[in-house]
Amino acid sequence: MRIASWNVNSVKARIGHLVDWLKQAEPDVVCLQEIKCVDEAFPTAEVEALGYNVATHGQKSYNGVAILSKRPFEVMRGLPGDDADTQSRYIEAEIPTDSGAVRVASIYLPNGNPPLTDKYDYKLAWMDRLIAHAQGLLALEEPLVLAGDYNVIPTAKDVHNPAAWEGDALFLPRTRDKFRELLALGFTDAFRACDDREGQYTFWDYQAGAWQRNNGIRIDHLLLSPQAADKLQTCVIDKHVRTWEKPSDHVPIRIDLRA
pLDDT digits (tens, 9 = 90+) for 16-62: 999 999 999 999 999 999 999 999 999 999 999 999 999 999 999 99
Binding-site residue set: 7, 34, 149, 151, 249-250
Amino acid at residue number 100: G
Nearby residues of 50 by Cβ (< 8 Å), 6 or more positions away:
19, 22, 23
Instruction: Cis check for the bond before 114: say yes or no (omega within 30 of 0).
Output: yes
Nearest residue to 257 (alpha-carbon basis) of 145, 119, 114, 110:
145
Active-site annotation holds for 250 = yes
Active-site annotation holds for 57 = no
| Percent of the chain at pLDDT exceeding 70 | 100
Q: What is the pLDDT of residues 130-174, one digit of tens each?
A: 999 999 999 999 999 999 999 999 999 999 999 999 999 999 999
Three-class SS state of 104: strand
| Percent of the chain at pLDDT exceeding 90 | 99
Backbone phi, psi, residue 232, to 5°: -65, 130
Nearby residues of 212 by Cβ (< 8 Å), 6 or more positions away:
none
Question: Do residues 93 and 74 lie in contact, with contact meaning Cβ atoms separated by under 8 Å?
Answer: yes
Report pLDDT for 109. Answer: 98
Rounded distance between C-alpha atoms, residue 57 and residue 92, angstroms: 10
CATH code assigned at 136: 3.60.10.10
Binding-site residue set for Mg(2+): 7, 34, 149, 151, 249-250
> For the range 135-140, what are the long-range contacts, defined as Cβ-Cβ under 8 Å and sequence gap of 24 or more?
135/185, 137/103, 137/225, 138/185, 138/186, 138/187, 138/225, 140/103
Residue 7 has pLDDT above 90, yes or no: yes
Rounded distance between C-alpha atoms, residue 139 and residue 161, angstroms: 38
Of the listed 52, 90, 108, 150, which one is catalytic? 108
User: Residue 175 is inside which H or E element, if any?
Assistant: helix 173-184
Starting at the edge strand found earlier in the chain, the sheet holding 2-7 runs: 53-57, 65-69, 29-33, 2-7, 253-257, 232-237
Angle CA 31–173–252, to nearest 5:
20
Q: Beta strands 2-7 and 29-33: pairing type?
A: parallel
Active-site annotation holds for 108 = yes
Report pLDDT for 215. Answer: 97
- What is the domain extent for residue 28? 2-257
User: Residue 148 is inside which H or E element, if any?
Assistant: strand 144-149
Domain count, the chain: 1
Rounded distance between C-alpha atoms, residue 249 and residue 74, angstroms: 30
Q: What is the pTM of this model?
A: 0.98
Of the listed 28, 149, 168, 256, which one is catalytic? 149
